[in-house]
Structure 1
C-alpha cells in the first residue's frame, strides 16, 4: 500500500471509528499507470449542538409545570369548598333531627313568624292611615282585626299544631284586604294642576326605565322627561338629550313613551355653533327648550316649532357655584303648576340659591327670592306649586329632600324625605305638573318617581 494511503488512513481512523457503520459510504479502487490506488469517500454528519431543540424542550417543561400548578390550586380550592358544603350539610342534618325529635319547636317558630308579620301589618296600616286625607272605616276595621289576630295567636300558641292552619287561613284573608287597601291608596287619581296640599309627603320608589337612547353608559350628562306645558296634539311627547361631557348641543323628541323605549325619535334638533349650552338642568316647557348657553353665559330658549332662539342675561347669577353632582350647572330651569322658574346662586348671597320667576312672553325676570340653601352642598333642586325643594346626599343609593322654601309665604322648612337613587350620581332632577312626577337622569339611566302630597 502506498505511503500516502497509509498516512491518510492513519489520520481518518479515529473519525471512522466514531462514525456509525451505516454512515460510511462505499469506496472504489482505481488503477493509475499500472499501479493500484484506493479512493475512500467518507460522509461526516452535521455535528452542531442542537440548541434550538433544547430551548424548545425547556419552554415545554415550563408550560407543563405552570399547568400542573394551576390544577393543584384548583384542587386546593375545591377541597376548601367541599369542606364548607360538608359543614352546611351537617348543620342541616342536625336541624332536621331537632325538628323530628321536637315538633313543638317547629310550632313555636311558626307562631313567632306570625307575630312578626302581624307587627309588619300593623305598621303598614298605620302608614296607610297617615297617607289618607280623612279617616277610613276600612282601615279602622283592619286595625281592629290585626289587634284581635294578635290575641288569637297568643291564645292558640298553647294548643296543638292543628290550630295553626286556622290562623293561616285568617292570615290569608287579612293579607288580601291589606293588598286591596294598599292598591286603592296607591292608585288614587292625582289632582293634576291643583295645589290643595301642604307640600310633599313622600316620594315613591323609583321606576328605572332603561339605559339612555345611545345605549352607552358613558353618556352620564343629560336629561329626559315630558313637556311640562304641552301644546295640543303633543301631550304624550317625551324629550331626551345626553352627552359624554357637561355640554348641550342636541335634543331628541319622541311621540310617546313606546317610541322613547324603541329609541325611535320623530325629530332631532342640533344646536348650531355659537348656540351650544353647558350644564344639564334644561327642560321642555310649551314646546320650547330652556337651557343654559355656554358663551356668553346666559339663559337661552329654542322654540321646537319655529327653531327660533332667544337669549337673556341674568347679571346676578354667579358662574362660581354649581350643584354637587353637576359641573357647570349655574342656571337650573324648572316648571310647576305656577309657571316657569330658574334657580341660580349669587355672589351677594355667598352661594345661596336664588329663585327667579320667568315671564314666558318677555323672557324676563318677574320676581326673585333668596333662600338659605347653599348650592355647592345641594344635589339638585326643583319647584312644586311655587315651593322650591332642595336635596342632599344621604348615602350611595339615597338622596334626601331636606329643605323647602315657599315663594308665596317666605316660609322655610327642614325635612327628611328619602329619595332612592338608582346609582350614586345624577345631573338632572325636575318636577312635571302634568303627571306629578319627578324625572331624574341617573348616571345614564331614565328614572322617574311618583310624588305624594299632604292633603289639606
Structure 2
C-alpha cells in the first residue's frame, strides 16, 4: 500500500517541474548566396529614368525642324534670287524683292546659328548618355548574376522565339503586315512640323490705321486670279466692315496699290449682312464672315454681289459673348472664326449648351451654304486667342507674351484625337494677333497684327520644294 501511494506523488512532482512549451520558434538560416544589392538596382533605375527624362522627343523634334527648315528655305532663297535677276526693273519691284531676300538671309543665318548650337548640345548629350547607358549595362550584367533560377534568361529566350515565330509567320503563307492606312482625308504635306518667319510684314497703304482685320489668298481662285490677295479692314468702331479690298499681287498689297480696288457689300456700315468681327476668309470667289448682329455665317459672292446666309445652331454665342481671350483682355466680336484649308471652309464657334467649349463645323459649298458635320472639343474658347485649320486639323493658339504666341492645341477631325501639348511658337511683330488664316495654296499662315499684315511659312513633313508665291 505504501508503494502505491508514493508512486503517484513522485509522478505528480515530476510533472509540475516541466517547463510550459512556447508558441514561438526561432530558427537561424545560414545562406551560401550573397545578399541582393538593392542599392545597385535603385541606382540603375534612377539612371534609366534620368536618361528617359533627358532624351525627349522635343529635343530631337527641334533638330529635325531646323534641318527641314533649312532644306526648304535654301531652295526658296535660290528661287527668289533667280527671279530678281530675271525680272529686276531697277525700281520699286527690285527694291522690294531685294528687301525680302535680305530678310530671308537673316532668317537663314539665324537658323544656322541655332542648328550649330543645337548640334553641339546634342553631341554632348549623346556622349553623356552613351556613357550612362554603358554604366547601366554593366550594373544590369552584375545584377543578373543573382538570377539563380535564370528567370531573366528564360524571358529573353521566349522573346527571341516569339520574334522568330512572327518573322516565320509573316514570310510564310501570310502576306507581310503593312502599316494601317488612314481612311478618308489624308494630308498631302504630311505631319505639321513648325512655323518659320515672319516672311512678310507690311502695313500696306494705311500705316497705323484699322487695327482689326484680316488678309490672305483665295485657296480656290477663279481663273486669272491665282495671284490675287485680299484684305478686310474693320472701318467702323473696330467692329464692322462693308467691303473687301483686292490686290492683283503680293507686291501690290505690300506697297498699297489696290487693283481692282474695293468690292462693296452694302453702301451702309453696319447694316444687314455686312461684316461683324475680324475673322473672315475668301474661298472660291466668295467672302465668308459673321453676319452683322446675327448668329449666322454670311457668304458674299464677289462676282454677283449677292449675299446668302447660314444659320448656326440655337444657343450659338454672338455679339461678343463668346470671344477669343487671354488673361489681360478679350478680342471683341470674335465669336465666330471662319477658316479655310485643303478641303474648304470651316466655322469655329461656341454655344451655351456646350458651356463655352469650341465647336467646329464644316461649311458645305451649296446654294445657300449648309452646315455639315460638327465636332465638339474639350477646349474652352475663352482660353484661346485664335484658331486655324490645316489638312482637316483644328489648331488653337494662346497668348504667351507680347513677343510670342503658342500653337498649343490640335483636334484631328479624322480621328477625334485632341492634343493639348502641340508646342509650336509664333514670333510676333506686335502684341496681338487679331486674325489667323491658313492658305493651302502656298502653305502660308496669314496673321493680322494690330494693323499690320504678317505671314509665316508652315513647314510640313512631306512638303515639296515648290513655292507658288
Please give the range of the TM-score, normalised by the shorter of the 2 chains. 0.5 to 0.7
User: Which residue number corresponds to residue 454 of structure 2?
Assistant: 447
Provide, for residues 333-356 of structure 1, a one-character-per-residue CA deviation record: whole Å limited to 9, x for no partner. Answer: 111112211110111111111010
TM-score normalised to structure 1 length: 0.57
Aligned ranges 1:105-144 → 2 under 5 Å:
127-128=63-64, 131-132=67-68
d(CA) in 1 for partners of 2:459, 2:410: 16
Task: Report deviation, 1:206.
Answer: 1.2
Larger Rg: 1
Tell me the residue number matched to 1:232: 223
Q: Aligned pair 1:393/2:399, yes or no?
A: yes
Equivalent of 1:207 in 171, 180, 199: 199
2:403 counterpart of 1:404: no
1:309, CA displacement in angstroms?
A: 0.8
C-alpha displacement of 1:455? 4.3
Q: How many residues align?
A: 280
Question: 3-state DSSP class of the match of 2:438?
Answer: strand
Check whether the contact 2:323–2:332 (CA below 8 A) recurs between aligned residues.
yes
Report the aligned-residue RMSD. Answer: 2.8
Q: 1:382 is matched with which residue?
A: 388
Cα distance, 1:212 vs structure 2: 3.6
* TM-score of the superposed pair, with normalisation by structure 2: 0.56
Report how far residue 232 of structure 1 moved.
1.0
Q: Secondary structure at the match of 1:403?
A: strand
| Cα deviation code 1:165-209 (max 9, x no counterpart) | xxxxxxxxxx9xx79x99xxxxxxxxxx97145532111021342
Q: 2:356 aligns with which of 341, 351, 366?
A: 351
Q: 2:200–2:454: 8 Å Cα contact kept in structure 1? A: yes
Work out the CA distance in 2 between the residues paired with 1:274 and 1:451.
36
Q: Which residue of 2 aligns with 1:321?
A: 322
The separation in 2 between residues aligned to 1:451 and 1:435, in whole angstroms, is 9
Match of 1:334 among 332, 339, 347: 339
Q: Distance in 1 between matches of 2:378 and 2:289?
A: 24
Aligned partners of 1:430, 1:129: CA distance in 2, in Å? 22
Gaps of 5+ in 1: 1-122, 136-174, 183-192
**1:231-272: CA deviation from partner (whole Å, max 9, x where unpaired):** 111000000121351212221111111221232221312231
Of 288, 302, 311 in structure 1, the residue corresponding to residue 300 of structure 2 is: 302
Per-residue CA deviation, residues 295-331 of structure 1 (Å, 9 max, x unaligned), is: 3332101111111110121124222211125211121
How far does the alpha carbon of each residue in 1:84-108 deviate from its partner, in whole angstroms, 9 at most, with x for none? Answer: xxxxxxxxxxxxxxxxxxxxxxxxx
Cα distance, 1:412–1:419 mapped onto 2, change above 3 Å: same
Cα distance in 2 for residues equivalent to 1:342 and 1:197? 23
CA distance in 1, matches of 2:353, 2:399: 26
2:210 is matched with which residue? 219
Which of residues 227, 244, 259 in structure 2 aligns to 1:251? 244
Secondary structure in 2 aligned to 1:204?
strand
Distance 2:317 2:240 in 1: 18
SS in 1 for 2:422: strand
- Is the contact between residue 290 and residue 336 of structure 2 (CA under 8 Å) also seen in structure 1? yes
Contact 2:406/2:425 (<8 A) preserved = yes
* Distance in 1 (alpha carbons) for counterparts of 2:274 and 2:196: 35
Contact 1:401 1:418 in 2 (8 A): yes
For the 8 Å contact 2:219–2:341, the answer to whether it is kept is yes
Supply the distance in 2 between the matched residues of 1:129 and 1:229 (Cα, whole angstroms): 29
Instruction: Indicate which of 435, 440, 451 corresponds to 2:442.
Output: 435
